[in-house]
């Protein structure tokens, strides 16, 4: 497999990668980079944690660096679209050292925060816009962003954008970019809405698929614990109190909020992440999880795509998801970048049939065990180590978001922000750049 230097990346880019101990590409990077660096449209499919972020950031930075141009106010040269605010932030964090080394300037465009800093950055001139579709469309309509100079467009997590109903604004935005620009589309699956985007916007794309659409990360251990409803919370608390970072998935926003509160009341430091929180609260909670202030993150499916945090050793489906794709995306928060990970699904009596069908469609064969409660030895086998319980944890109280005004854009955070100043938030310290 060629090194990054052998693939022809700029010396400054190779230096940034080497400084982070990265010399050899992941399979999806090795597969797509020769074509993307050559200017071809690329359709890349790889599961979460496979290294898609660098697969599109490296050719983007290389292209803009090789063909320098004067910045024009409001007229960026490159566009990255992503479905969630968290994913936009993660992409920007991965881009930052590469941009600094090559003299490029970027801006993130998301909802849930005041638009003025974004407008000011666009007016000063940027090379790269990383955006959620809804807020960017607002800036385009108001004349603050002009996409007619876009040379390279990237769609990340395209299947998730389709699932969330973002296809209409994505199409409107892509219609404003030049037809002869390069376009890279990366996705965990290539079906339904994604196929519509491919046929309409990609020109003779090279398709690279580095793994089976059904295959889970090989390093994961999958367990299903058959529990009684009365024992469910105690079993969850025991697993969450085990060593390492844990992500717990709930089906609803209300469920995530309640589980986080109940875990904290049992001395397990947990924060919540869901669409009912303001952007400041979401950023603060994710920062607390990344820096270790909280060892547990209780999230809805909004986080299954938007969170890339290293060192998550355990994923618990407190509520089994409805479909197998959600199971795989949730589970992909662990066993990232070659590390091991464990996935546990809590199953009640009435969920036996649904969970059996779910795991079959997901292509996994979990170990199914009847669990009697928090003292059952199976819990120590699944998540070894000493349990840590303490007094109720008093983490910063989340600031509630204002009600969503536009329900057709559930995850882009398009509620109108208030005028209050944003508190300073922790920057996620352990975010993965791959």
Q: What is the CATH number of the domain that holds 302?
A: 3.40.50.300
Quick one: 158 and 297 in the same domain?
A: no
The reply to whether 192 and 329 lie within a common domain is no
Tens of pLDDT, residue by residue over 303-320, are 656 666 777 889 999 999
CA distance 187 to 155: 8
Q: Quick check: is 367 in a domain?
A: yes
Question: What mean pLDDT, rounded, does the chain reach?
Answer: 84
Least confident of 126-135, 190-199, 252-261, 398-407: 398-407
Same domain, yes or no, for 102 and 149? yes
> Residue 395 — pLDDT band, cuts 50, 70, 90?
low
In a domain, 408, yes or no: no
Clarify whether residues 23 and 141 are in a common domain: yes
Let me know if residue 295 belongs to a domain: yes
User: 193 or 427: whose pLDDT is higher?
Assistant: 193
Same domain, residue pair 15 and 96 = yes
β-strand pairing of 312-317 with 341-347: parallel
> Which residue range forms the structural domain that includes residue 117?
4-209
| pLDDT given at position 159 | 84
**Terminal-residue alpha carbon distance, the chain:** 18
The reply to whether 126 and 230 lie within a common domain is: no
Does residue 276 sit in the same domain as residue 355? yes
Rounded distance between C-alpha atoms, residue 380 and residue 72, angstroms = 59
Is 401 contained in some domain?
no
Kindly state the helix (H) or strand (E) to which residue 342 belongs, with its residue range.
Answer: strand 341-347
Q: Could you tell me if 117 and 261 lie in one domain?
A: no
Residues 6+ apart with CB under 8 A from 40: 182, 204, 205, 206
Judgement on whether residues 286 and 157 belong to the same structural domain of the protein: no
Instruction: Report how far apart, in Å, the C-alpha atoms of 400 and of each of 27, 276, 279, 341, 403 are.
Output: 41, 6, 9, 32, 9
Confidence of residue 408 (pLDDT cuts 50, 70, 90): very low
Asked if the structure places residue 419 within a domain, the reply is no
73 lies in the same domain as 94: yes
Final residue of a domain: which of 155, 182, 209? Answer: 209
Maximum mean pLDDT: which of 37-41, 271-275, 291-295, 307-311: 37-41
Is residue 205 located within the same domain as residue 226? no
What gap in Å lies between CA 188 and CA 330, rounded to an integer? 12
* 195 in the same domain as 228: no
Number of domains in the chain: 2
């Amino acid at each position: 497999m060629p090194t990054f230097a052998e693939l022809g990346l700029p010396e400054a880019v190779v230096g940034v990668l080497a400084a982070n101990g990265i010399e050899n590409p992941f399979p999806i990077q090795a597969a797509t980079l020769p074509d993307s660096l050559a200017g071809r449209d690329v359709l890349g499919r790889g599961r979460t944690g496979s290294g898609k972020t660098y697969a599109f950031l490296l050719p983007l930075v290389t292209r803009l660096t090789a063909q320098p141009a004067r910045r024009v106010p409001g007229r960026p040269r490159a566009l990255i679209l992503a479905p969630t605010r968290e994913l936009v932030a993660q992409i920007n964090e991965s881009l930052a050292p590469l941009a600094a080394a090559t003299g490029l300037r970027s801006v993130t465009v998301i909802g849930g925060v005041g638009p003025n800093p974004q407008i000011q950055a666009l007016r000063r001139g940027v090379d790269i816009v990383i955006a959620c579709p809804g807020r960017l469309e607002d800036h385009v309509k108001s004349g603050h962003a002009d996409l007619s100079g876009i040379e390279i467009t990237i769609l990340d997590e395209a299947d998730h954008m389709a699932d969330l109903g973002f296809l209409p604004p994505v199409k409107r935005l892509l219609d404003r970019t030049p037809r002869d620009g390069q376009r890279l589309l990366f996705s965990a699956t290539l079906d339904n809405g994604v196929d519509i985007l491919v046929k309409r916007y990609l020109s003779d794309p090279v398709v690279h698929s580095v793994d089976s659409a059904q295959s889970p990360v090989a390093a994961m251990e999958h367990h299903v614990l058959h529990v009684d409803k009365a024992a469910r919370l105690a079993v969850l608390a025991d697993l969450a109190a085990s060593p390492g970072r844990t992500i717990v998935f709930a089906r609803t926003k209300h469920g995530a909020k309640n589980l986080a509160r109940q875990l904290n009341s049992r001395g397990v430091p947990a924060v919540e992440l869901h669409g009912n929180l303001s952007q400041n609260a979401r950023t603060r909670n994710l920062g607390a999880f990344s820096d270790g202030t909280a060892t547990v993150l209780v999230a809805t499916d909004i986080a299954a795509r938007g969170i890339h945090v290293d060192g998550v050793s355990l994923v618990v489906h407190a509520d089994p998801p409805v479909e197998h794709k959600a199971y795989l995306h949730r589970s992909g928060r662990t066993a990232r970048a070659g590390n091991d990970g464990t996935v546990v699904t809590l199953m009640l009596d009435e969920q036996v049939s649904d969970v059996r069908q779910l795991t079959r469609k997901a292509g996994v064969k979990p170990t199914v065990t009847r669990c009697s409660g928090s003292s059952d030895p199976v819990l120590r086998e699944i998540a070894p180590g000493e349990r840590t319980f303490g007094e109720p944890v008093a983490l910063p109280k989340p600031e509630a978001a204002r009600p969503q005004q536009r329900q057709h854009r559930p995850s882009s955070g398009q509620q109108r922000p208030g005028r209050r100043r944003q508190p300073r938030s922790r920057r996620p310290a352990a975010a993965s750049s791959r």
